[in-house]
Structure 1
Amino acid sequence: MATSTRVALLVCPTSGKGRAGRVAGTVAARLRDVADRLDLHVAPSAAGTAEMARKAVADGVDVLVVLGGDGGAHLAVQACAQSATALAVVPAGTGNDLATALGATSLDAVVTALRDGSRRAIDLGRVENGPWFATVLCAGFDSAVNERANSMRWPAGPRRYDLAILAELATLRPQRLVVETEDALLELDALLVAVGNTTSYGGGIPVCPDALPADGLFDLTVVEATPRRTLLRMLPTLRTGRHVEHPAVRTLRARSVRLSGTSWVAYADGERMSEVPLTTTCVPGALTVVSGAG
């Protein structure tokens, strides 16, 4: 590389049912080809991942590479946000939505981006008095699906979310939701709300299909109360992003969002956040990423 680059590789060995641990040696060897120095860290737990990420950033590494899924990436985002350390993600988890948003769909893509020095700044969401998130914050039906999917041992990958969706449909009930932004106020019976910094969650479901991670705005998708049979017909369009064309779907853009009026639990980056009410704000350029996209 043109300049001296110090890279830390943070391995989440249980990601992808152990896949991250199995490929760690190969990933480290490839990264050594494009880094002047590579520090290797293997995290035994989520708490260990968070602590190792904080220490690597405090130690001044140029790039923190996470080998894992969205959970490990979410913890690394907390350390890298508004720092001089760039984040890269080698996908090895179940969903890999952040890696996909960054154009890091393979080890080769990450190695090439590191070699070329491809970096850019993206926005992050921040929950008031809480953590950062890089992809999508959701509440309602979709967060219930997330909670169920996280508890399932089988199957792996996007099919897990598909089965969780079907299971949650059986107990689906709308709630009164209030959505406040700097320009709008919505109060309606709703099934879900998604606040997107990037397009997708749940292993590639483009719930906010037009979201851009560097425009300084969230994209919001709100699904109004609708009969279960109507929702069933709508579900296949989630995989293509065409659900936003349905009359029961509202879309908004906003810099800041307050959600209230429900007892829903919010998830972001696939991780449990807090109960509604909550406020979240889009912070422009809060994270530097190693990326082959955009």
Structure 2
Amino acid sequence: MADPKSPVDPGGDLGDLLRRLRRRADLSQRELAGKAGVPQAAVARIESGRATDPRYRTVERLVRAAGGEISVELEPACDMQATGSAEPGPIPHDDMRDQAGRRYPAHLDVWEVREPRDWPGAWWAEWYTLPPSSWPLPLPPASYRLNRSYRDERRARARVRRSATVRRVTGPTVPATAWRFVAELPGGELIGELRAHDESPHLRWGDGFLPTERETVLDGVLIVAAYRRLGIGRRLVEALIAAIAGNRGPVCVRALTEQAGIDFLCACGFVIEPSRPAAMRFDQTVSGARQRRW
């Protein structure tokens, strides 16, 4: 609580503050109570310290009636520090209502449910081909998690998604025919890396390719486990493709992957090319004899 003309310590005694405001305004307890619209006994209890927990609305009326003002100061929270402002932002889901017309909890993160995978309660969500008519439960308009650890993790990941930057690494440590891109946080923490190299198809496949033609082989995309599924890997691939296009025009990128990597590359626009060898493997036995397998 503070008064713009005569600042006071908000951590001081409330009764002492009220008495000082009343003295400056030249008001008796009865006169102050009349202006504020509260009982005179309430003023007496606050000033004597017998009202240990008065209602905020009562205190606000008394302070304003005495010519003071009340202000609230907030300590920057972890999510406010990212914006550089101590002011609490608007609740992003405040206009959303549940099926009973009630607001969702303000302290949680609420998202719209458009398909089963958006709803934690949809245990059948992995069955992508299950038609809506076969869903065992109707989807709610929105959903949220009560687990605050999960909420804090989602917020932290959202901050990483917004703040991560992608840049190309060049210099003497990177050969002229190689590509290296890294994803970093503002503090310089490395959270992702992509490496690739150029090669000539003419050397591998013989006739049919010009010696000057080049295609890029994607050696690997690595993302820190805690920051996966945030689109950072796709941003690294897009940066590679944009750099190749700006350097030599048409882009041809080849990759060798399996399992989850196939879905990732398909999401980045790659297609499976069955006309080329898929994999080659080299094994060496304990005795030292070499076995080559295609």
Quickly name the TM-score band, shorter chain normalised.
Answer: under 0.3
Greater C-alpha radius of gyration: 2
After TM superposition, the score normalised by the length of structure 1 is 0.24
After TM superposition, the score normalised by the length of structure 2 is 0.24
